[in-house]
Structure 1
Amino acid sequence: MMQDWAQTTLDQIYAKTKATVQRIGPSAIPYIAEDGHYQADMAKKDIIWWTNGFWGGTLWQLNHYRPDAALAAAAIANEVDLDQAFLKYQGLHHDVGFMWLPTAVAHYRLDGDDRAYWRGRHAADLLAGRYNPVGKYLRSWNRDRAGWVIIDSMINIQLLYWASAVTKDPRFKEIANNHADTVMQNHVRADGSVAHIVIFDPNTGAALRTDGGQGYEVGSSWSRGQAWALYGFALAYHHTHEARYLETAKRVAHYFLANIENTDYVPLVDFRAPQEPQTFDTSAGTTAACGLLEIAKSVSENERPLYQNAAEKMLHSISAKYGNFDTATDSILSGATTAYHDEKGQNTNLIYGDYYFIEGLLRLTGKDFLIW
């Protein structure tokens, strides 16, 4: 029953995405839909924006699901567009994983394209260059933030695992593991909740303080940060088979699951925010669902239903409440939130929320491929 629903929904999304590509053009990179349509082309507006890989990832996933020349051409055009981001080196940071894993690395994984390989390698080298050997972490942002590490980085380090595998160079994997261990020890709390930002002394490696970041406040639990951690540690386990990463992913997952039952499996923006106003983030839900399905692959048969069933409920509930499958409009899900205190970013559409929704559905049907 659930697989049939996922298949039907994917078919609707496939038709809608093809219509969107025809409408916005093959090389445009969308971000947020306004009034049902993508207004800004991030390839022209801000080529270094961190979400610029998710549209390419959507196109590659759907083309893998059902090959289509227009989808593949648009995915490659997006990959070529991102070459301009390499030239704006000063604007790139840890999010090179979000930008080039779903584009160049996905392309390489699918057909071994040589140019795509070197784009991925270039991005991986840039990420490895952000490593602080004293603190054993990858710095997240630029400017004066040499000691800042955000939980989102747990998805980006998957680029280093890929680079280590294709080059047979253990340095990339070692950096990724060291960073994951630092995050595990400093961002993930004993109860499974997660801090968005931890600030270290870049000279000594000592943790100085945490910051609320995109959540409600210091000490709160920003749900998309929970999702990045949940999925990121599950993926780290996939690439390393180190038990501590799976155990951490499960601990974060249990905290997440304990907080979504009372809101019909649609996560609040922050699990420790005041009860009013009640705001949600569908992008946190779709990301977490993919992480739960990854965990389900890695645990025993008797354990699997806890994670599998929760992921299915989350994807179905979000789709029923926030899905839009009209081919005359762009984007799929509303109900996303950029940050708790961002008044303009409430109940919106976010390209990565849509991407993870599609990846989750493909996982349910067994027709996904490894992006991360």
Structure 2
Amino acid sequence: MRIIDLRSDTVTMPTEEMREAMFRAEVGDDVYGDDPTVKRLEEYAAQLVGKEAALFVPSGTFGNQLALFVHCKRGDEVLLGDDSHIVQHEVGAASVIAGVQLRTLTSRQGELDPKEIEAKIRKAEDIHYPDTGLICLENAHSNGRVISLENMEQIHEIAKKYHIPIHLDGARLFNAATYLKAEAKEITRYVDSVMFCLSKGLCAPVGSILAGSRTFIEKAKKGRKLLGGGLRQSGFLAAAGLVALEKMIHRLQEDHENALLLGQELSKIPGIQLSLEDIHLNMVFFDMSAAGYDTDRLVEEFLKKGIKINPAEDGIMRLVTNYWVSREDVLYVVDTMRELLMGEHTE
């Protein structure tokens, strides 16, 4: 049975072009700086986001935590949203690796209030206070929304005023750029460093990029080695990453359109509540508690029909479209949902 996997866009398999590129990749020992394919990937990635240099890292979490590790000294305070990925889904790594304190701010569906950020910056020289070492933003946000460039610019101005760097968790940076109809560098101009994933929706099997100034990346290389991320013939993986950046970012609009279609059709089913205005990317979040159907059972019944989904998180379901999910697949998923829920009401 063919499986339609809507759990995440991390489930994407490499394309045939990627597999061929990996097979033929020219490689060397990257810890020695000898891997030409990794070098090409890092140079191209830096150009895409308008930064001086970039570094290939194993994962998005690795890239985010490495950024905190490099930007901050132990005991620093990091300002970020209370619903950010770094807070919610990175295993408390900031306290273990960088030794920093996370000071969370109220998130307005992913956007942070510039006035609140300025108010929370530690301005007074006081032996009781930690230093504000970093501000972290997230765009696109893991709630499926894109943060406006105006909001990022306002925060950037405040950060410059107090000489505090900004790191961007841009795991789905190119989805955000697609939604904004802008180049990625128009987003990253407002931050000092950025992490973005090659494996979320872009089909690369492994890897993310951390980009910033040349000095920052030189420090990050040493930090990557310290954290066990010094890879050897990683050009085999970087080759897929190059294809991802050269070919796959230009088709993300298709995933967005399929997600909107999925949301539109699901919203017609009694008992499902969702906001179409919140579908900025390839993610559809919805509440089906009013349908009276157990979500754990839904996961089981969907799997019987060849559809993989995650169970609800805090009562909210999330479906994610990706390269391997077609418009026809979306309609099949909707039909399956309708049959299960409507059948439940007619029994």
Higher share of residues assigned strand: 2
The TM-score, its normalising length taken from structure 1, stands at: 0.27
**Larger RCO: 1 or 2 (CA < 8 Å, sep 6+):** 2
The TM-score, its normalising length taken from structure 2, stands at: 0.28
**Larger-Rg structure:** 2
